[in-house]
Amino acid sequence: MREIVLVNCAYDRSDDSVFTSPRTCERITGGRLARDRGTIYPHVDGVSTEHSCQAVCLRVLRAERRKSVSGETVLITGASRGIGRCLALEFAKHGASTIILWGRDEEKLSSVKKEVEESGKARCHFYRCDVGDREQVYRTIQKVQEDVGAITILVNNAGVVHGGALLETKDDNIEDTFRVNTLSHFWTTKSVLPSMLANGRGHVVGIASTLGLFPLPGVSDYVASKFSVVGFYESLAAELREQGHRDVSVTCMCPGHTTTDMFKDLTTQPFSLTPQQVAEQTIEAVKTNQRRVILPRVMHLTWILNSWLPGSWMRNVLYVTGAMKDMENFCAKR
């Protein structure tokens, strides 16, 4: 007996089908039922269709298709600390055979490598690489492929934040933000995707942010870079689907405030996540081929309401939750 619970689904009038966002390429007939029971939204869970809906709960007797990460070769950028470190340990815990760490701090990378090797049977390698440098990315990928072989799971996790009002933000910082937070995803993905397509096996994961779905003041460069990343993965997923590459998956993670060093000055954020929580949910998303994951789940509601209600609504929410004041303090300390 198998069961599927559709919370986020999409209704397409062209063929009366429901597409499940958690699993790619799986179609369940009965779109009219989902349409009638759900609420019509212009765009839900990143599924691009003529109409989308939020189904209350539709249960079907089918088992959830899951894949294993056992034996996979995983490359993680920004792996020296925070989410990247937790991702390395989690992939090792779940059976990945080889973990490849990228970062700029060799001492911290070496420390994470030791933790990974002590945690299980996974082999671990680390390489010093500035992902914002395109040529350095290409050279390092080539060396990795020579040393280790083909990458089967790529996790683009590296990121930077400078903070500050637009007119107070240095041009160099804006460029650095886009090089690391946005352009690096292009360089790494272009480097590993050919081997994934040739082997008919692979998964590309991007760690974006809820700030790629709705903005906060004081970090316009960061917000713009994350909006770009969300768009990149939506487009990449659509491109691979149209080209018939069903065995290479794409996942975009959109976590809210996470207690990493990058945002340590944000102290009053509600619903904060730990790096471990983000890492665990990322592994789950990979195993179930989820296209987009918004964390914590309550942020789904915020995202939907933000698309419906006037801009003043979100501003009031930011004031009530203390996020606006927190961002002012954050920017003042940068």
The catalytic site residues sit at 222
Give residue 192's identity as a one-letter amino acid code. V
Order of strands across the sheet that contains 98-103: 123-128, 98-103, 73-76, 153-156, 202-207, 248-255, 292-295
Among candidate residues 13, 15, 19, the one with its CA nearest the CA of residue 4 = 19
Gyration radius of the chain over CA positions: 20
Tell me the H-state helices in the chain. 31-37, 82-93, 106-119, 134-147, 171-178, 184-199, 220-242, 275-287, 298-308, 311-321, 323-332
* Secondary-structure breakdown of the chain: helix, strand, coil percentages, each rounded to the nearest 5: 45, 20, 30
